[in-house]
């Protein structure tokens, strides 16, 4: 029961203290789930994020579900999911009740502009950390660069990039192994 409470509280804190969606949540997920609690490795977190992006729903919710399920099974997935969405439900309900009264205030607009800039920096920091852990060789670097360029040039679903990167990784590894054994 303590582990389930820890899952709920951890994901409630993550859900309540991150702004900007699933990508902005990545640095806090990495710190809480990987570094502090050891519920997942960096590579696993990246896998959960990739799958969470490819499946219907919100990335943060999908990732919480995967981590909770890995940690404590189906009930852990449910508890982690409830934890990550609970603060948002409360906060959004409160904001919705008052936002129309304050949205036009310069201080509110300026605060949101500052928050958006901060979120970009947090996402960039997480990308750099996870990139260092994920791109370990020339094949990984090539796939990274191709996906980066492709995502800038073409406006297609990220699912396509994840599938193509997975296929490319498998094909390259098989070809490299065949080349090494000949």
pLDDT of 60 > 70? The answer is yes
pLDDT of 142 > 70? The answer is yes
Residue 45: enclosing H or E segment and its boundaries?
helix 42-54
Burial class (CB in 10 A: 0-12, 13-18, 19+), 162: middle
φ/ψ of residue 41, rounded to 5: -90, 165
Structure tokens at 19: 């702004």
Query: Cβ neighbours of residue 90 under 8 Å, at least 6 residues apart?
Result: none
Mean pLDDT of 88-102: 82
pLDDT, residue 39, reads: 92
Q: What is the pLDDT of residues 24-59, one digit of tens each?
A: 778 888 888 899 999 988 888 888 888 877 777 778
**What is the Cα–Cα distance from 33 to 47, expressed in whole angstroms?**
14
φ/ψ of residue 61, rounded to 5: -65, -45
pLDDT of 5 > 90? The answer is yes
Do residues 14 and 88 touch, judged by C-beta distance below 8 A?
no
**Mean pLDDT for the chain?**
86
pLDDT of 182 > 60? The answer is no
Structural domain spans, the chain: 2-133, 135-182
pTM above 0.95, yes or no: no
Do residues 122 and 24 touch, judged by C-beta distance below 8 A?
yes
pLDDT, residue 48, reads: 85
């Amino acid at each position: 029961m303590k582990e389930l409470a820890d899952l709920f509280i951890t994901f409630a804190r993550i859900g309540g203290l991150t702004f900007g969606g699933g990508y902005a949540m990545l640095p806090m997920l990495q710190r809480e789930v990987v570094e502090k609690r050891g519920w997942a490795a960096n590579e696993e977190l990246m896998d959960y994020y990739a799958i969470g992006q490819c499946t219907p729903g919100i990335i943060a919710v999908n990732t919480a579900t995967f981590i909770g399920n890995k940690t404590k099974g189906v009930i852990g997935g449910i508890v982690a999911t409830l934890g990550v969405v609970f603060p948002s439900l409360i906060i959004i309900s409160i904001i919705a009740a008052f936002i129309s009264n304050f949205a036009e205030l310069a201080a509110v607009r300026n605060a949101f502009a500052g928050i958006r800039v901060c979120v970009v920096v947090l996402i960039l920091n997480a990308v750099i950390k996870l990139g260092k852990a994920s791109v370990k060789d020339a094949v990984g670097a090539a796939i990274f660069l191709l996906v980066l360029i492709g995502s800038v040039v073409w406006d297609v679903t990220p699912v396509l990039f994840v599938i193509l990167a997975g296929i490319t990784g498998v094909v390259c590894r098989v070809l490299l192994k065949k080349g090494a054994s000949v």
